[in-house]
Amino acid sequence: MFDLNTIASLCKRRGFIFQSSEIYGGLGSVWDYGPLGVELKNNVKRAWWNSSVYERDDIFGMDASILMHPRVWEASGHLESFADPFIKCPACEKFFRTDENIAAKKPCPNCGKPLPEKSMSANLMFETLCGPVKETAQKVFFRPETAQGMFVNFLNILSSKHPKLPFGLAQIGKAFRNEITTGNFIFRTREFEQMEIEYFVRPEEAQASYKRWVEERFNWYVKLGIKTENLRTRPHSKEELAHYASACSDIEYNFPFGWSELEGIASRTDFDLKQHSKVSGKDLRYFDDASKQKFYPYIIEPSGGVDRSVLAFLVDSYREEKVRKEKRVVLSLHKDLAPVKAAVFPLLRNRPEIVKLAKSIHEDIRGKYNSVYDDTASIGRLYRRQDEAGTLYCVTVDVDSLEDKKVTVRDRDTMRQDRIDISRVKKYIEDKL
Ligand code: ATP
């Protein structure tokens, strides 16, 4: 069994994820994605966009801005109640969320001294000023979720796309929360990305749609390689439900620090559209052609975190094994998620003809698939490097390649090596993918 530090150090070593502003000592709970990390993250987002937008006719994509009119947050309830209860240990000055099994009066989990009796609460939204002069600038917020950008564009979608219920909106974007307890690497951070769908349905269809979405979202993770035994659905109890929700389920992953939320699917009733109608004064009801009636659709919201998914895919694909008495670390990421599809090496980097041939194969592949050329170490080391990056195929050009016009292609998972014609390399990878 490995812990989160194993994953975090692999991420740093191979260029997946770095601490933000590290040379200045780092900024608390903010992370940067490096060359491999950005590819993995983009692949996760692409897989989500494909299944949520391109593979369906009933969901439209959109991209709303991060800064919104401050009254949005009045309507949504965030200004009033987007806060977590917390306590501060008077001895070690650490903060703890009191809804995370940390009860007041208990000893501090960090230093063991008694915690205070009363918890406090603070709004989690980041504030900033909009306008060049401080005195006249408007106080605005960095959105704590992407959802509101879809609710406030409901009328624009109705008038531009003329959709019929049920239909949805999908969006991927940054969100910001001034979290009290952070940590566990990229699990809970202050700046993160969400992938959210707002699915509008007739009120009488909400329950069935909610159930379908819980299943659909669970299966999305499985389809991308997460082991079923590491996933579970946890329905919220009545006490746990947010005031606007009639039902909610979390899809949880068995992280090294325990079962934790990966995504939440909420049945939000007609709360959001009603609230925005009330506060904006605009009629956000849907006109039903058949019954000639106007009503507020109900909303089902599958809301997942990009960064948490990235972490789950990394953890789930991490493997350590013994190969010829040596430790092999491999990320057996799903083929659609692997940051690099092929790596091309010359067996001898001091032979210009071999180097030239290897580079030309890499250039041929890279137009279609993400490919790297590497000649900076011995072949064994190059394989190990690519295994840790989750690279699917390693192509090696050797002395014989100059004569027989063949190369060796090694499969990441089986480590099987195939000798194939150079002219077939791209097709070979294409067929495998
Ligand atoms: P938690 O209780 O773990 O803080 P939440 O229930 O507040 O999460 P939601 O508001 O339902 O989270 O947000 C939807 C999704 O956005 C979460 O399932 C998670 O994947 C992601 N998310 C929320 N907060 C964070 C954060 N601080 N860092 C990274 N991802 C987050």
Share of the chain above pLDDT 70, in %: 98
> Residue 239: which residues within 8 A CB-CB, separation 6 or more?
none
Ligand 1 pocket, residue 189 CB under 6 Å: yes
Distance of alpha carbon 88 from alpha carbon 382, whole angstroms: 49
Distance of alpha carbon 360 from alpha carbon 373, whole angstroms: 10
> Which residue's C-alpha comes closest to atom 26 of ligand 1?
188
Average pLDDT over residues 63-74: 97
First-to-last alpha carbon distance for the chain, in angstroms, is 30
Ligand 1 pocket, residue 249 CB under 6 Å: no
Q: Tell me: pLDDT of 183 over 80.
A: no
Local structure of residue 26 (DSSP, 8 states): -
Q: Counting atoms of ligand 1 from 1, which one is nearest the CA of 177?
A: 27
Per-residue model confidence as pLDDT tens digits over 361-378 = 999 999 899 999 999 999
Ligand 1 pocket, residue 216 CB under 6 Å: no
Helix (H, G, I), strand (E, B) or coil at 122: strand
Question: Which domains, from first to last, does the chain contain?
Answer: 4-63+148-315 (3.30.930.10), 340-432 (3.40.50.800)
Amino acid at residue number 338: A
In angstroms, what is the C-alpha Rg of the chain?
Answer: 25
Task: Please tell me the distance between residue 305's alpha carbon and the centre of ligand 1 in angstroms.
Answer: 6
Closest to 39 measured CA to CA, from 354, 392, 347 = 392
Residue linked to tokens 């079923």: 228
Q: What's the pLDDT at 96?
A: 80
Ligand 1 pocket, residue 308 CB under 6 Å: yes
Q: What's the pLDDT at 101?
A: 59
> Which tops the pLDDT comparison, 109 or 186?
186
> Which tops the pLDDT comparison, 111 or 60?
60
Mode of pairing for the β-strands spanning 342-346 and 393-397: parallel
Local structure of residue 51 (DSSP, 8 states): I
Q: Tell me: pLDDT of 347 over 80.
A: yes
Closest to 342 measured CA to CA, from 420, 404, 400 = 420
pLDDT class of 118 with cuts at 50, 70, 90 = confident
Closest to 87 measured CA to CA, from 112, 108, 62, 59 = 108
Q: What's the pLDDT at 100?
A: 61
The answer to whether the CB of 171 falls within 8 A of the CB of 221 is no
Ligand 1 pocket, residue 177 CB under 6 Å: yes
Handedness of CA 379, 383, 385, 386 (dihedral sign): positive
Q: What's the pLDDT at 34?
A: 98
Which region holds residue 415: left if phi is over 0, alpha if psi is between -120 and 50, else beta? left
Q: Tell me: pLDDT of 257 over 80.
A: yes
pLDDT class of 102 with cuts at 50, 70, 90 = low
Ligand 1 pocket, residue 263 CB under 6 Å: yes
Q: What's the pLDDT at 226?
A: 98
| Ligand 1 mutation pick, 192, 218, 248, 272, max ligand atoms within 8 A of CB | 192
Q: Tell me: pLDDT of 103 over 90.
A: no
Q: What's the pLDDT at 181?
A: 74
Q: Counting atoms of ligand 1 from 1, which one is nearest the CA of 189?
A: 28
Ligand 1 pocket, residue 179 CB under 6 Å: yes
> Which residue's C-alpha comes closest to atom 24 of ligand 1?
188
> Which residue's C-alpha comes closest to atom 12 of ligand 1?
264
Ligand 1 pocket, residue 317 CB under 6 Å: no
Residue 166 preceded by cis peptide, ω within 30: yes
Helix H or strand E segment including 233: strand 231-235
Average pLDDT, the chain: 94
At 362, list the tokens: 């890499």
Per-residue model confidence as pLDDT tens digits over 184-203 = 999 999 999 999 999 999 99
Q: Which residues of 306-331 are buried (b: 16+ CB within 10 A; e: fewer)?
A: bbbbbbbbbbbbbeeeeeeeeeebbb
Per-residue model confidence as pLDDT tens digits over 413-424 = 999 999 999 999
Task: Please tell me the distance between residue 314's alpha carbon and the centre of ligand 1 in angstroms.
Answer: 18
- Torsion angles phi and psi, residue 127, rounded to 5: -110, 155
pLDDT class of 85 with cuts at 50, 70, 90 = confident
Q: Which residues of 104-125 are buried (b: 16+ CB within 10 A; e: fewer)?
A: eeeebeeeeeebeeebeeebbb
Closest to 410 measured CA to CA, from 430, 424, 391, 385 = 391
Q: Tell me: pLDDT of 132 over 80.
A: yes
The answer to whether the CB of 385 falls within 8 A of the CB of 378 is no
Closest to 26 measured CA to CA, from 185, 194, 257 = 185
> Which residue's C-alpha comes closest to atom 11 of ligand 1?
264
Distance of alpha carbon 195 from alpha carbon 179, whole angstroms: 19
Distance of alpha carbon 392 from alpha carbon 181, whole angstroms: 37
> Which residue's C-alpha comes closest to atom 2 of ligand 1?
261
Task: Please tell me the distance between residue 263's alpha carbon and the centre of ligand 1 in angstroms.
Answer: 7
Q: What's the pLDDT at 105?
A: 65
Ligand 1 pocket, residue 307 CB under 6 Å: yes
- β-partners of residue 304 are 195, 263
Q: What's the pLDDT at 104?
A: 60
Helix H or strand E segment including 384: helix 379-389
Q: What's the pLDDT at 185?
A: 95
Distance of alpha carbon 234 from alpha carbon 218, whole angstroms: 11
| Ligand 1 mutation pick, 102, 188, 272, max ligand atoms within 8 A of CB | 188
Ligand 1 pocket, residue 316 CB under 6 Å: no
Question: Listing from the earlier edge strand, what are the strands of the sheet with 393-397?
Answer: 371-373, 342-346, 393-397, 406-411, 417-421
Task: Please tell me the distance between residue 248's alpha carbon and the centre of ligand 1 in angstroms.
Answer: 14
- Cite the DSSP H helix spans in 117-228: 147-151, 154-161, 206-223
- β-partners of residue 286 are 295
Average pLDDT over residues 123-148: 94
Question: Residue 239 class from Cβ within 10 Å (0-12 exposed, 13-18 middle, 19+ buried)?
Answer: exposed
Distance of alpha carbon 141 from alpha carbon 136, whole angstroms: 16
Q: Tell me: pLDDT of 51 over 70.
A: yes
